[in-house]
Amino acid sequence: MPPQSEKKFWAEKTFRRLAHLYGYREIVTPTFEHTELFIKSSGSTSDIVQKEMYTFSDRAGRSLTLKPEGTPGVVRAVLENQLRLPCRLFYITPCFRYSRPQKGRYREFYQLGVEALGEAHPLVDTETIQLGAEFFARLGISDCLVLINSIGCRLCRPNYREKLLNFLRPHRQELCPDCASRLEHNPLRTFDCKNPHCQEILAAAPLPHQHLCPECQKHFDAVLTGLKSTPVRWELNEHLVRGLDYYNRTTFEFVSPVLGEQISLGGGGRYDYLIEEFGGPPTPAIGLAIGLERTLLALPELKTAPLRQLVFVAWTGTEELAAARQLLDRLRAENIPALITYETPKLKRQFHLADLAQARLCVVVGAEELKRGVYGLKDLSSGAQTEVSQADIVNRLREILNS
Ligand code: HAM
């Protein structure tokens, strides 16, 4: 509903502009895909696949799923259409997850995402994080922090996984049922668990970033060095593994305090193997997705005021209505949003309607003013009234609306 919807479009516009500035082109993927796509990419042990997908059969008995996230559809589309790499794509898309609805967690929500496919350099990781940070800064969210970690690659992860398993196995009985069942398939995910007892056990666990191979270490160091020359606020978080199975090397999350709680406004990371797993050529990739609704929750008060840009054209009699309609057309031709009522010439009622429509300014077309070549101009927030010559009205309105 307005004004919430207006804030949503404003955030989308800001994101679209920024993505263009970073060289991304917009992609639109289908709302639902074959279920298999998500199982294969997000991972069969992920919460999304295990608990949160909206899956249904169509009339032909095919299993389909409403997209729970933007990345898999992009990867599928790129492969299917044989896009030339490297390519940078962004999206603004509704996503669906069957989780318990609460503040900042919805069953239908929007993701603003970017995916850079075919770029391996660590500074691309830095740039992706920078883009996210700049988005929040442009919206006026200044308390946003990036948590960052590296979870290694195909070479170093198996060794580390064994170490972690050896550490966790003796604690199997003490782990929560989720962690116990995930243990053998994906022990790294235990770091993601919110259960305080699991966290206590994990406090002494070997950490992913301490077991990186030299190449991964070099990559991670370069990402962090890159970040140091930017204004991004970041901190190493040794437990950050992220909830999707496709990640390797750099993982990161944007967090911000919302309603007294630290929540994740966005997250992403590298997924250098996913395209290959889908039958494509070995292709390094990295992406980020931002939760739109959570971003709006984190907006500072100042930025949550509706953006009043509308001009209301009021008139005082039948003859003035003709002149008012001409002015209305002139304003719209000049790209100034304008509204009129045909209901009544009574000014009091028209001012009331202007207020209801959330107009910022009201131009009054009166008989006496018309003779003098002027319009009345009322600022609806301050109540201040002035006169402006008919010739100057467009410039004057622009000046005020842009201020
Ligand atoms: P994700 O962390 O699952 O990552 O989701 C990204 C963001 O979507 C979250 O940080 C959060 O702001 C928002 N979000 C997730 N679930 C909900 C929900 N139920 N209600 C409201 N907001 C939600 C991904 O989806 C990856 N595809 C990100 C990525 C792109 N990695 C590489 N490329």
pLDDT at residue 194, rounded to an integer = 86
pLDDT at residue 222, rounded to an integer = 98
> For atom 13 of ligand 1, which residue has the closest CA?
291
> CA-to-CA distance for 222 and 216, rounded, in angstroms?
10
Helix axes 214-228, 122-138, angle to 10 degrees: 40
pLDDT at residue 101, rounded to an integer = 92
Ligand 1 centroid from CA 109, angstroms: 9
pLDDT at residue 396, rounded to an integer = 97
Residue 266, strand partner residues: 254, 290
Pair of tokens at residue 339: 């509204």
pLDDT at residue 192, rounded to an integer = 87
**Is the whole model's pTM more than 0.85, yes or no?**
yes
> For atom 31 of ligand 1, which residue has the closest CA?
268
Q: What are phi and psi of 254, to 5 degrees?
A: -95, 120
**pLDDT tens profile 24-77:** 999 999 999 999 999 999 888 888 988 999 999 999 999 999 999 999 999 999
Regions of the chain with pLDDT less than 70: 259, 302-307
Site to substitute for ligand 1 among 46, 294, 295, 297, most atoms within 8 A of C-beta: 294
Strand positions, DSSP E, 19-134 = 25-26, 32-34, 55-57, 63-66, 87-96, 108-117
Kindly report the CA angle at 70 between 180 and 273, in degrees rounded to 5? Answer: 65
pLDDT at residue 350, rounded to an integer = 97
> CA-to-CA distance for 206 and 168, rounded, in angstroms?
10
For residue 316, the 8-state DSSP code is: S
Pairing state of beta strands 25-26 and 87-96?
A: parallel
pLDDT at residue 211, rounded to an integer = 96
**pLDDT tens profile 216-262:** 999 999 999 999 999 999 999 999 999 888 999 999 999 998 867 88
Asked whether 280 and 274 are in contact (CB, 8 A), the reply is no
Q: SS3 of 310, please? A: strand
> For atom 14 of ligand 1, which residue has the closest CA?
291
